[in-house]
Amino acid sequence: MRVSDYIVKYLNENGIKDFFGYQGTMIAYLVDAIGKNKEVKNHVCYNEQGAAFEAVGYAKASGGISCAYSTSGPGATNLITGIADAYYDSVPVLFITGQLNTYEYTNVNTIRQQGFQESDIVSIIKPITKYAVKIEDVKDVSYEFEKALYIMQDGRPGPVLIDLPMNIQKSELDISNLNHFQVPNKDAKIDYSNICENILKEIENSKRPVLFLGNGLKKDKKSIEEIRNLINKLKIPVIYSMLGKSFLEDNSPYNFGFMGTAYGQRYSNLIGYKKADLIVSLGCRLNGRTIGIKRNNFNPNAKIIRVEIDKEELKLPIHNDDIIYNIDVNELVKEMNLTYASKKIEEKKEWLDVCKYIKDKLKNIDNDIKEWLPNRYINLINDITEDNSNIFVDVGQNQVWAAHSIKLKKNQKIIFSGGLGAMGFSLPASIGGCISSNKNNTYVIVGDGGLQMNIQELQLLKNENLPITIFVFNNESLGLIHQQQSDFFDNKFYGACMEGGYSAPDFSKIANAYGIKSYQVSSLDEFKKVIITYNKNIPTLIEIKLEVGTKAYPKTYFGEEMYNQVPYIPKDILDELIEL
């Protein structure tokens, strides 16, 4: 059996059915093997960055694993942004790169480049992978792929990369003469039941506890059900990081929104930063973007329990008396559900009523502000999305609008580029996500800047005729930068809008050129007419024209406490809510 055929067969047997990549000389044997194998599907992408994001979106949507490939040199380096996204957001993706034949290398390792389209991709990407290796002996093929798949899913997940020289790919394999990876023995078992009891006691003894959900919780269907079961047993308010938004449906009585230093929801920021006396953080880094750069200023009156698998994250304390559990949060959630199965937990009704009052009051204020126009478009998008559909969001103002106003339904997920914050993420990621969901209706929310970064993937969208609707919020500017320049750079908009050298095309015409149905609207009324009648089962682009200078609010400005956001609410109302 040829090595490439063996690899594809092995990956298929271990859950990888779809491959995303771009053909090239140094990866041609692997692509040939993918094409010949009737159990898998090759998705032909139009830039390797797009391929990487398609694989990342596939894994983020499914909660499973995925694979992207590229040729050597520029093909491999084009994967880097997607690799980094997977690393920072803890996504298990296998990246395979083609490489020069092993016999083309000399013993002079100080030479800058050994051959055409050669780059030492392993050294380049080691800081943003859990494991990266170049295979130099056919006997090690099985060992390295077994090891890579284990490492990328063990502990805190993340990407791995295998660099595969062309002569290795086309070599014949003696299956009886292969090295194999042995899964290491784990340390002694952790007493999760005792930890559960300790956390439950803290919740029972507190007056105002909240559960804080982060990206460390798994997002496959079964794991999300476990989390929701736990929430319904604990009966306490839940807040979350932006990446934790998918864990809770909007209509849950325990859903009190996403907390974030600059752009979090007012009520979540007030509840988490000021009102809670106990915060049980499950799988959240609690970084500066969530709780503020001055970490010890975050709710000094609250006790904080941190459950986190990455011990390095726990080296950054919040308060000196943090209760820390360096364990697998997903195992804890399973155990907590078992522990609480026979326990009756009394709902903290008074505290829930306070949180509900705060939420309703502050939501009504935001719903009435004139700057809320983009969010009103999002509200109309909510009306047409289905249970089980996924929403992929880019980076910039569109991300803020979506995080505030998307109302998740049953089995819906909203998917972001979190830690890396990569513009150009949403379109290719939605393609991977749509494929992973057996082509359920899928939606993209993106700005004019983000769409231009991987616009070539419209060709893949058209080729596969996927039911993806792209909503482009086009204010002909890099909105968040424009907003920053308005506040701090004396309205000098260098690089952010037409007067500063940036511009945006007519996206509806570009979509038409790709053979994709498109619409362009300039008002809510026009938008309503389109979304009531358009065909959601084919690739569609709907361009929403907004004014240059459209803002993303509410926003916390430097020096303010994170619940006191612009546009400022009346002082008497804020004082009332603080005193509750």
The CATH number covering residue 71 comes to: 3.40.50.970
Last-in-domain residue among 132, 153, 177 = 177
563 is a domain residue: no
- Candidates 118, 24, 112; CA nearest to 73 is 118
Give dist(CA 65, CA 54) in Å, integer. 12
Least confident of 143-157, 174-188, 368-382, 392-406: 174-188
Query: Cα separations (Å) of 525 from 304, 377, 407, 544?
Result: 47, 10, 21, 12
Whether residues 143 and 231 fall in one domain: no
Last-in-domain residue among 294, 322, 357 = 357
577 is a domain residue: no
Whether residues 413 and 268 fall in one domain: no
Find the domain containing 539 and state its range.
370-545
Query: Count of domains in the chain?
Result: 3
The neighbour count for residue 111, using CB atoms within 10 Å, is: 11
Whether residues 405 and 538 fall in one domain: yes
Checking if the pLDDT of 345 tops 80, the result is: no
Checking if the pLDDT of 491 tops 80, the result is: yes
The neighbour count for residue 184, using CB atoms within 10 Å, is: 8
pLDDT for 254: 97
Segment 497-517 shows an average pLDDT of 97
Whether residues 350 and 208 fall in one domain: yes
pLDDT for 243: 95
Whether residues 83 and 232 fall in one domain: no
570 is a domain residue: no
335 is a domain residue: yes
pLDDT for 315: 92
CATH number of domain containing 319? 3.40.50.1220
Whether residues 93 and 196 fall in one domain: no
pLDDT for 163: 97
pLDDT for 9: 98
394 is a domain residue: yes
pLDDT for 135: 97
Reported as a pLDDT band with limits 50, 70 and 90, residue 210 is: very high
Query: Cα separations (Å) of 453 from 53, 304, 343, 446?
Result: 12, 40, 52, 11
Last-in-domain residue among 177, 205, 223 = 177
Whether residues 255 and 377 fall in one domain: no
Instruction: Please give the mean pLDDT across all residues of the chain.
Output: 95
DSSP 209-270: EEEEE-TTS--SHHHHHHHHHHHHHH---EEE-GGGGGGS-TT-TTEEEE--TTTS-HHHHH
Checking if the pLDDT of 401 tops 80, the result is: yes
Whether residues 150 and 40 fall in one domain: yes
575 is a domain residue: no
Checking if the pLDDT of 188 tops 80, the result is: no
Whether residues 266 and 292 fall in one domain: yes
Whether residues 164 and 267 fall in one domain: no
pLDDT for 485: 96
Reported as a pLDDT band with limits 50, 70 and 90, residue 108 is: low
Whether residues 25 and 166 fall in one domain: yes
Checking if the pLDDT of 318 tops 80, the result is: yes
Determine the Cα angle at 339 with ends 337 and 344, to 5°.
Answer: 90
Reported as a pLDDT band with limits 50, 70 and 90, residue 55 is: very high
The neighbour count for residue 307, using CB atoms within 10 Å, is: 27
Checking if the pLDDT of 231 tops 90, the result is: yes
Whether residues 169 and 197 fall in one domain: no
pTM greater than 0.85 (yes/no) = yes
Reported as a pLDDT band with limits 50, 70 and 90, residue 110 is: confident
